[in-house]
Amino acid sequence: MTKFHIKSTTKIFLFYLFIPFIIVLILYPLLPIILNYPPDSINNAFQISLDGLTYTQQYLMIVILFSFFSLVILLIRLSRINNIINKLNDTKDKKYIETSIRKVRGLCLNTPYLLYYLEILLPLILMPITFLFVQAYILTIIKICLIYILFFTLGAVLCFVFSQSQFKKILIALHEQFPEISGKIENETKIRKNKSLAVILIMQLMPLIIVALFFTSLVCYTKAAEKTGDIYYKSYKTAFNRYFTNDEYNDIYTIIDKLKNMDRMDSSHTFFLLNTNGEYITEDGSQLSPFFIKYSLEKSEAQGGRTYDYYCLDKEGYVQKINYTGIGDIYVGVIYSTVQMTLFKFIVISDIVLLCIISLTLIYISYSLSRDIKNVTTRLEKISDKNNDELTKTLPVTTENEMGNLIIAFNKTQEMTRNNVNQLKQNQEILMERERLASLGQLIGGIAHNLKTPIMSISGATEGLSDLIEEYKSSISDPNVTVQDHHEIANEMQEWISKIRNYTSYMSDIITAVKGQAVTFSENNQDSFTTEEVIKQVSLLMKHELKNALVDLNVINNTNPELKVKGNLNSLVQVINNIISNAIQAYNGKEDSQIDLIINTKGNNLIISVRDYGCGMTEETKNKLFNEMFTTKGKNGTGLGLFMSYSNIKAHFNGDITFSSELNKGTQFNVIIPIH
């Protein structure tokens, strides 16, 4: 894979750095604006005296805390992927390669999900804890956490999508380098419910919808509260300027009476008095927060008398400094809430309703899309399971989008596959017939040679009989021929007739065997036969080929000769003859060799073994032997022999063929047939 995987993993790591960095840059100036922070209240001594940390310090601490765990886990996993692939390129051990590819696949497929969940769950868990350390108000924690979670969720989705695309490239490169092993592993892959297409679509789209919905709602509510605060501020500023002039006051009760006589815009608004050392009196006895007191004393004058009650709280106020005899300056003011409860309830209800509608719609669309794809997948799986009936069924086209195009393409591919399968069947039948006829021709050639001997013997016997007949004719009128002589002539004639009968019986057996081999593999005549009949036909039909190759057939029958086996005798003989022919060729012309034909029973199975001690098979040959029409004979072989034999035993006997082979030591084939 050269260094492709390093480039991909580096891109992934840099992207996981880049996205948080962009979020940090956007969120840093945006957060105080969105949440309506009090002016001049962050990144200064004022904030440090209250919170102990500045806004920038808090911000960086949260970002680093959240990013650290994800980046460390990502770095560990990317390092593991690089190390495994680097070692993978330096080995040829197939088992190690397969194990390594499985590990890389697991890391590539699971890492995006792991980081996705971490980047969403960590802010939910750690952020509230972080703000509790700075003793922030609950409402402040909720609002700030909500903004952070929304933005980090957005970043998690972007990182998830990008990292998946890069991890896919690594898997594709692995597949291209190790196609056979990767293909085997991929075929074993099963879809997990939590990683289905519908779930992935919901995972990617639902957070984006939630981010957009809640962010918009929060901004709208905050700005509405800000506008309410502006209205209250301007109204109370006008009222206080009218009631409290620049006169000097020497009676606290006079000030209180003025406050009581002022019109308030809501019964919940509270007037207060505040001196410069932080002591205060409120109209209803309620407490003022340290932030409100400090901001009123130090910052309100610069803000035109406007003051605030901590970050993100919907509570503000107006203060005005007046002169008080003997004490100096004191502050009078009002504190009011800018909470828009009606608007808040409306926004919450609207968000819930919209979220439910959008969620249901998204779920329906996702599962509908997933279902359409699953229909195509299911049909392909049935076709791959060699269910030829499925090739005649087409899928209905119910949409005019890409899914419709996919179904149309599937139907066209299915039609083409059906035509190809039919053509392959025809070609296979032709090839198998040619192979059968070629084998039959070779067999007949050997049989013809075997028939020469009995034919010549019969010819000689007829000549002998002719001579005896002539001798007998001439002896009829010869008085010197005794009865004993007549009996001797008759005995000689009987001997020649017995020889002719044996020769004709042998020829009949050969012709019967040849006739049986003339049937095609497709015929499935069910009858029964004994193991002795198998041995007899194999011996007859292979006699010439074994003799020419100077190879002995050592037959060992460990079964009951009367044992009945259901099936077609001729088909089984064809299979065994083919295996014996291959065993002969395994000796490569070596003379005085031996092939063992061993027949045993094990449980409910008849096991017919053919063992040679020839060249054996390579690993490549073993892997391809029964999976395809494979031959080691070059142009002189079709690869149909063992393929046909295996198919025949599977289809017609419900049996199996196994083998074991060791290079340069020999091979053993086992034909296994159920006998009950």
The alpha-carbon radius of gyration of the chain (Å, integer) is: 48
Residue 524 clears pLDDT 60, i.e. is over it? no
Token pair recorded at residue 166: 């890069």
Residue 317 clears pLDDT 90, i.e. is over it? yes
Query: 3-state DSSP call for residue 604?
Result: coil
Strand runs (DSSP E) across 241-384, as ranges? 248-249, 270-275, 280-282, 306-308, 315-324, 328-337
Once rounded to an integer, what is the mean pLDDT over residues 295-320? 90
Residue 175 clears pLDDT 80, i.e. is over it? yes
Q: Using one digit for the tens of pLDDT, what is the confidence trace for 199-248?
A: 777 777 888 888 888 888 888 888 888 899 999 999 999 988 888 876 77
Q: How many residues does the chain have?
A: 676
Q: What's the pTM?
A: 0.57
pLDDT of 243 reads 84
The most confident of the ranges 292-306, 311-325, 451-465, 564-578 is 292-306
Q: d(Cα 626, Cα 579) in Å, to the nearest integer?
A: 13
DSSP 194: G
Question: Is 95 within 8 Å of 43 (Cβ atoms)?
Answer: no
Q: Using one digit for the tens of pLDDT, what is the confidence trace for 115-164?
A: 888 888 877 777 666 666 655 667 777 777 778 788 888 888 888 888 88
Percent of residues, the chain, with pLDDT higher than 90: 12
Q: Using one digit for the tens of pLDDT, what is the confidence trace for 328-344?
A: 788 999 999 888 888 88
Q: What are the phi and psi torsion angles at 591 (to 5°)? A: -85, 165
Q: Using one digit for the tens of pLDDT, what is the confidence trace for 466-522?
A: 877 777 777 776 777 777 777 777 787 787 787 777 667 766 666 666 665 555 444
Q: Using one digit for the tens of pLDDT, what is the confidence trace for 601-614?
A: 988 899 999 999 98
Token pair recorded at residue 77: 């996993």
More confident residue, 522 or 434: 434
Q: Which of 180-194, 262-276, 649-663 has the lowest mean pLDDT?
A: 180-194
Kindly write down the DSSP assignment for every residue of 3-15, as one continuous string.
Answer: THHHHHHHHHHHH
Q: What share of the chain is helix, strand, coil (3-state, %, to 5)?
A: 65, 10, 20
Q: Which of 180-189, 338-347, 394-403, 409-418 has the lowest mean pLDDT?
A: 394-403
> Of 383, 293, 303, 377, whose CA–CA distance to 335 is shortest?
293
DSSP 246: S
Query: 3-state DSSP call for residue 615?
Result: coil
Residue 307 clears pLDDT 90, i.e. is over it? yes
In angstroms, the Cα distances linking 345 to 214, 218, 339 are 14, 12, 11
β-bridge pairing 656-662 and 605-612: unpaired
Token pair recorded at residue 527: 């009858």
Question: Is 125 within 8 Å of 84 (Cβ atoms)?
Answer: no
As a whole number, the mean pLDDT across the chain is 79
Query: 3-state DSSP call for residue 665?
Result: coil
More confident residue, 286 or 424: 286
Q: d(Cα 443, Cα 512) in Å, to the nearest integer?
A: 13
Residue 447 clears pLDDT 70, i.e. is over it? no
Token pair recorded at residue 340: 């828009």
Kindly write down the DSSP assignment for every residue of 492-554, as one continuous string.
Answer: HHHHHHHHHHHHHHHHHHHHHHHHHHTS-TT----EEEEHHHHHHHHHHHHHHHHHHTTEEEE
